[in-house]
């Protein structure tokens, strides 16, 4: 349970470090597995916990975040937990208002329209003041996990957050945000720099609070082509890894592994392999062998079963997992979906996925 009467540090000893070993490239007996959006609406207990509460109010409650993070672990033998939160807490920390509109998703009441709107953003963000509730949720959850599995912290990446802040919500084309990159390149870099600086402090704060790995979500990479990605996404992705690592050292924090997940960015895999992250996450649109060839042997891969494969019968899920493991190999690899779980998925099929990864990887390792 998530009771708040625990000392901030003196965390329980970790019992299952398979995920961390795989992230660092050490040998594992089985391939570790977790799922993006594993704490989510596909679980009836999640919907029950969330029922009465506004979405962002839930994000601001350490006790609720802890409960939602732990729910999937009570059901499935997952090898990692990821803190329940949202990438849009960072634009909120910059002073923007975001509300969750039922049936529509996150919506900014006043998106950025003109370059002058950048002046409305907080130029200096005290992450502990603005995002301390996430740090509290991480510390509480780390204790409540009782060392069962490692806890992953995360943030959205600058371009993905910028695109939301300008579009005002989801978009199929990202035309408004991309038009800034072409029309206002300097202002775009100013905004991306501001975001990167907040993200760096935010990620370091998560490690100080107890996160044992970090994932950076560049969820909207697919809207950029190679040139725009090179100019407006990659430099900040690189800088975040470099700065977070140097601050972890400076503050004598554990050097936790970092994962970069840039959705639909196959065109950038070679660059991402050298961006300073221990793990590169993959979406479902690339062949395992192809990804391994581009990324090489020195980086761990994470992914990439098509989330919709979980709609298949359980036996079929097992076959698809086996094929995926044969493609990636069982070492220097963390099994996951190529994107998040969908709300209408059957929890039993999620269980079948997790168990298939463990069973098939153990079998492959023995033989």
User: What are the residue numbers of the active site?
Assistant: 37, 41, 50, 86, 164
Number of neighbouring beta carbons within 10 Å of residue 290: 13
d(CA 64, CA 67): 5
Q: What phi-psi label fits residue 10: left (phi over 0), alpha (psi between -120 and 50 degrees) or beta?
A: left
Residue 152 bridge partners (DSSP): 82, 213
Bridge partners of 82? Answer: 152
Nearest one of 181, 341, 177, 157 to 265, comparing CA atoms: 157
Tell me how far apart the alpha carbons of residues 240 and 245 are, in angstroms, rounded to a whole number. Answer: 8
Structure tokens at 152: 């992953």
Nearest to 30 by CA among 282, 347, 329: 329
Cβ–Cβ < 8 Å for 303, 332: no
As a whole number of angstroms, the distance between CA 150 and CA 146 comes to: 10
Q: Are 270 and 226 in contact (CB under 8 A)?
A: no
| Helix pair 175-183, 185-209: axis angle to 10 deg | 120
Helix (H, G, I), strand (E, B) or coil at 69: helix
CA 187 from chain centre, in angstroms, equals 27
Q: How far is it, in rounded angstroms, from Cα 196 to Cα 332?
A: 28
Within the chain, what is the greatest distance between any pair of CA atoms? 63
Count of all residues that appear for the chain in the document: 367
Sheet harboring 81-82: ordered strands across?
81-82, 151-156, 213-218, 258-262, 279-281, 300-305, 333-337
**Burial of 144 from C-beta contacts in 10 A (0-12 / 13-18 / 19+):** buried
Is 95:121 a contact under the CB 8 Å cutoff?
yes
């Amino acid at each position: 349970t998530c009771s708040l009467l625990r000392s901030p540090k003196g965390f329980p000893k970790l019992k299952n470090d398979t995920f961390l070993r795989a992230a660092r490239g050490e040998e594992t007996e089985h391939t570790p597995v977790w799922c993006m959006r594993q704490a989510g609406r596909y679980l009836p207990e999640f919907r029950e916990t969330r029922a009465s509460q506004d979405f962002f109010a839930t994000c601001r409650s350490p006790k609720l975040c802890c409960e939602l993070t732990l729910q999937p672990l009570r059901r499935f033998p997952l090898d990692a937990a990821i803190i329940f939160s949202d990438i849009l807490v960072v634009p909120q920390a910059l002073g923007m208002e975001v509300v969750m509109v039922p049936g529509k998703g996150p919506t900014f009441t006043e998106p950025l329209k003109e370059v002058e709107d950048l002046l409305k953003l907080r130029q200096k963000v005290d992450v502990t003041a603005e995002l301390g509730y996430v740090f509290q949720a991480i510390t509480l959850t780390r204790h409540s996990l009782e060392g069962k599995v490692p806890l992953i912290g995360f943030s959205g990446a600058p371009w993905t957050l910028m695109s939301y802040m300008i579009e005002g919500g989801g978009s199929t084309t990202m035309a408004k945000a991309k038009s800034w990159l072409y029309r206002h390149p300097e202002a775009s870099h100013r905004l991306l720099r501001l975001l990167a600086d907040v993200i760096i402090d935010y990620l370091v704060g998560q490690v100080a609070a107890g996160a044992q790995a970090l994932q950076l979500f560049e969820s909207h990479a697919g809207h950029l082509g190679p040139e725009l990605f090179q100019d407006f996404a990659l430099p900040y992705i690189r800088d975040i890894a470099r700065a977070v690592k140097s601050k972890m050292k400076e503050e004598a924090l554990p050097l936790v592994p970092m994962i970069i997940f840039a959705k639909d960015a196959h065109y950038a895999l070679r660059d991402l392999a050298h961006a300073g992250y221990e793990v590169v996450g993959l979406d479902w649109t690339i062949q395992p062998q192809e990804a391994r060839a581009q990324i090489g042997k020195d980086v761990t891969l994470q992914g990439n079963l098509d989330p919709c494969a979980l709609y298949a019968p359980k036996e079929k899920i097992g076959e698809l997992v086996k094929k995926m493991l044969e493609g990636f190999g069982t070492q220097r690899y963390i099994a996951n979906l190529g994107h998040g779980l969908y709300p209408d998925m059957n929890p039993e099929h999620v269980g079948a996925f997790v168990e298939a990864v463990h069973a098939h990887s153990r079998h492959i390792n023995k033989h």
